[in-house]
């Protein structure tokens, strides 16, 4: 019964080995297993990915119907994400320096493995920091407007963050995050956004995506050096796919370039962790995990077959850590104080 | 967690609750429905926080799809919470048919779709039509298809039944107790955010034949409390109103546009004003005879 599914193990097992859902020897999944798997995948925003992974197998009718919907929905997500990128490009027609797509939209635009069935929320782009005023102005002229009217939040973004306060389009109701680097200014690692933009690959649309090693560095920085790991299983799946493509490309020195660049940016540990954890969850499980790695796994799998988040203390610890990474302690205290006073 | 799985029309739900009572009530009211094996959606009724488990317990409505600012309900209104959670899953997650916020009923393989603002009476009207069922004259009887969502299949253009429990509010409760004296009613929940609420189990044939589809034949925009009137409505206005009444029109993309265009181009529509249930029923019969 579903009560036995007290963590998200079943989801990583099926993404790693999709044929396990119907294998006769392994017993395959029963109704309780399917219900838990679908619920967890949906909550982790991996249902479209799951649909793409198990496609072509003999599945129960009820499962096929749900996964067909997820596949259709993923197609719609892709179309919407690419359209949003197209609209941003049109709004910035007069801007002649590289605009790099990031995260989900980039994976779709470059037709990467990670894009298969992937959900896309906001549009994330990166431009040179000096050009932010020009880019912001052009986007606002094309119908984007501020989401947060609050002066404190606005100043906070501008002074300390790696992106402008989020903008939302008046008519299409879609958000855009305009980045000038990949981590908050207050975080310790020091990536080189100018070099990342200079190396970025140009697509037919005239938009850019980071080159392979930089994609991995950005995704790993986002997962392990920034947020609180909420939705981390999907980010880790992205990383698994990006790493696999880097490996499959057989590009000379690809992994050496990745390691040395990550070291240089202060993100060596994040990238190494990405390699270990993604291999452990989705790939060849033959990796040795540190004690800290096991804590990360514990956090990543904190979701049960009912779709509930579990392991409250672990989650809280990672939440506090995410703020710690972004801000020195005194600044954190000031920030939380201001937020509490406003009743957040 | 207590658990109950149910199939309503084309959709299936796994309902989970920290408290046994709301699920016992659901089980009793949905007794005539098939039970799901693998469910499309999960809805959870759970405590807001550990503390609130003991002090003034209230039930948060969670599930696959959630609203971040949805207010919790008292546990005594858990049944309503589960129904709201199921509506939310359909509104935000359903992709197999176009969903219209509308009621519907079928007769002779053809369907009537009624949509309008909250308080228009569309829900009560569909229930009244459904409970007027006359076994001796099945060809003149209406089969209740749904009081909240009218589903349109994008491939065939047909109405798909979604006969969930009928949700009666305020005066509609007494009206339906009079219209369906043998009906199976749920507990009266006074003082909910929407006023008094009481659920009514749809007529037996509405559930037993819920898989039977019908061809849309008439769209009505009822309005309660105004002097009797029937107005034509141009297809352009019908189209715009129905896009606003649809919860998944945008998410369905081109398929949604095709389904809605086809519906509006092929089915006549009228706005009707009425002052009483009887008056509305009479107007429905009149328009059905003239237009279908």
* H-run or E-run covering A155: helix A151-160
Which of B5, B38, B248 is the mutation pick for testing A, counting most A CBs within 10 A? B38
What is the rounded distance in angstroms from the CA atom of residue A277 to the CA atom of residue A285? 9
What is the rounded distance in angstroms from the CA atom of residue B131 to the CA atom of residue B122? 14
Percent of chain B predicted with pLDDT > 70? 97
Query: Do the Cβ atoms of A62 and B96 come within 8 Å?
Result: no
Q: What is the mean pLDDT of chain A?
A: 89
Which of B5, B42, B248 is the mutation pick for testing A, counting most A CBs within 10 A? B42
Query: Do the Cβ atoms of B42 and A35 come within 8 Å?
Result: yes
Overall residue count recorded for chain A in this entry: 344
> With 90 as the cut, is the pLDDT of residue B118 above it?
no
Question: Is residue A314 within 8 Å of A299, Cβ to Cβ?
Answer: yes
> With 50 as the cut, is the pLDDT of residue A3 above it?
no
Buried b (16+ CB within 10 A) or exposed e, B13-23: bbbbbbbeebb
pLDDT of res. A24: 55
Averaged over A171-190, what is the pLDDT?
A: 88
> With 60 as the cut, is the pLDDT of residue A25 above it?
no
* Strands of chain A, DSSP E: 100-101, 123-126, 144-146, 167-169, 175-179, 201-202, 208-209
* H-run or E-run covering A337: helix A329-341
What are residue B94's DSSP bridge partners? Answer: none
Averaged over B136-156, what is the pLDDT?
A: 92
Averaged over B85-90, what is the pLDDT?
A: 96
Residues of A in contact with B96 (CB under 8 A): 65, 69
> With 90 as the cut, is the pLDDT of residue A131 above it?
yes
> With 90 as the cut, is the pLDDT of residue A15 above it?
yes
pLDDT of res. A2: 41
> With 90 as the cut, is the pLDDT of residue A341 above it?
no
What is the rounded distance in angstroms from the CA atom of residue B211 to the CA atom of residue B160? 7
- pLDDT interval class at A27 (50, 70, 90): low
Tell me which residues of chain B, numbers 52 to 111, contact chain A at a CB-CB cutoff of 8 Å: 62-64, 95-96
Distances (CA, A) of B48 to A297, B5, B55, B289: 27, 23, 11, 52
Buried b (16+ CB within 10 A) or exposed e, A248-283: eeeeeebeebbbebbeebbbbebbbbbbbbbbbbbb
Interface of A with B (CB under 8 A): 2-3, 31, 34-35, 38-39, 42-43, 60, 62-63, 65-66, 69, 72-73, 76, 79, 306-308
User: Strand, helix or coil at B76?
Assistant: helix
Overall residue count recorded for chain B in this entry: 292
Distance, C-alpha B3 to centroid of its chain: 23
Provide the whole-model pTM.
0.90
Please name the residues in contact with A160: beta carbons below 8 A apart, sequence gap of 6 or more. Answer: A184, A185, A186, A326, A327, A331
């Amino acid at each position: 019964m579903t009560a036995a599914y007290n963590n998200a193990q079943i989801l990583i097992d099926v993404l790693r080995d999709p044929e396990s859902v119907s294998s006769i020897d392994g017993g395959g999944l029963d109704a309780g297993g399917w219900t838990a798997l679908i619920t967890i995948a949906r909550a982790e925003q991996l249902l479209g990915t799951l649909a793409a992974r198990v496609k072509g197998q003999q599945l129960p009718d009820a499962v096929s119907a749900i996964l067909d919907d997820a596949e259709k929905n993923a197609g719609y997500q892709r179309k919407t994400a690419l359209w949003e990128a197209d609209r941003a490009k049109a709004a910035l027609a007069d801007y002649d320096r590289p605009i790099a797509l990031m995260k989900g939209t980039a994976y779709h635009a470059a037709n990467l493995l990670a894009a298969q069935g992937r959900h896309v929320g906001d549009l994330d782009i990166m431009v040179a920091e000096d050009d932010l005023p020009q880019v912001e102005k052009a986007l606002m002229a094309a119908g984007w407007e501020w989401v947060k009217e609050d002066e404190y939040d606005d100043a906070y973004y501008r002074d300390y963050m790696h992106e402008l306060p989020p903008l939302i389009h008046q008519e299409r109701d879609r958000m855009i995050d305009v980045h000038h680097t990949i981590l908050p200014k207050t975080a310790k690692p020091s990536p080189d956004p100018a070099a990342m933009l200079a190396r970025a690959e140009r697509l037919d649309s005239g938009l850019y995506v980071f080159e392979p090693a930089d994609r991995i560095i950005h995704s790993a920085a986002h997962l392990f050096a920034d947020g609180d790991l909420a939705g981390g299983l999907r980010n880790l799946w992205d990383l698994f796919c990006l790493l696999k493509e880097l490996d499959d490309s057989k590009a000379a020195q690809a992994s050496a370039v990745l390691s040395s660049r990550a070291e240089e940016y202060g993100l060596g540990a994040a990238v190494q962790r990405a390699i270990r954890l993604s291999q452990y969850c989705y790939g060849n499980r033959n990796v040795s995990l540190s004690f800290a790695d096991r804590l990360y796994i514990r956090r990543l799998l904190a979701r049960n077959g009912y779709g509930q988040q579990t392991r409250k203390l672990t989650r809280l610890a990672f939440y506090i850590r995410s703020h710690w990474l972004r801000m020195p302690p005194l600044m954190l205290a000031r920030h939380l104080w201001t937020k509490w006073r406003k009743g957040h | 967690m207590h658990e109950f799985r149910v199939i309503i029309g084309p959709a299936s739900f796994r309902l989970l609750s920290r408290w046994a009572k709301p699920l016992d009530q659901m089980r009793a009211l949905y007794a005539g429905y098939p039970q799901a094996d693998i469910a499309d959606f999960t809805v959870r009724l759970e405590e807001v926080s550990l503390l609130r488990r003991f002090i003034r317990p209230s039930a948060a409505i969670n599930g696959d799809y959630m609203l971040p600012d949805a207010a919790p309900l008292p546990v005594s209104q858990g049944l309503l919470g589960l129904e709201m959670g199921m509506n939310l899953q359909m509104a935000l997650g359903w992709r197999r048919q176009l969903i219209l916020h509308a009621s519907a009923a079928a007769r002779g393989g053809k369907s009537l779709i009624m949509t309008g603002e909250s308080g228009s009476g569309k829900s009560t009207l569909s229930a009244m039509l459904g409970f007027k069922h006359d076994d001796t004259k099945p060809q003149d009887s209406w089969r209740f298809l749904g009081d909240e969502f009218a589903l349109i299949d994008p491939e065939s253009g047909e109405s798909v039944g979604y006969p969930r429990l009928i949700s009666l509010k305020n005066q509609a409760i007494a009206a339906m107790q009079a219209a369906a004296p043998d009906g199976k009613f749920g507990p009266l929940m006074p003082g909910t955010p929407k006023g008094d609420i009481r659920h009514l189990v749809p007529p037996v044939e509405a559930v037993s034949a819920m898989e039977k589809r019908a061809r849309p034949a008439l769209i009505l925009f009822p309005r309660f409390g105004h002097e009797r009137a029937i107005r034509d409505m141009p297809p352009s206005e019908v189209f715009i109103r129905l896009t606003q009444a649809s919860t998944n029109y945008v998410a369905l993309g081109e398929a949604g546009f095709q389904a809605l265009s086809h519906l509006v181009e092929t089915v006549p529509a009228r706005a009707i004003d009425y002052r009483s249930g009887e008056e509305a029923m009479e107007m429905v019969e009149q328009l059905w005879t003239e237009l279908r």
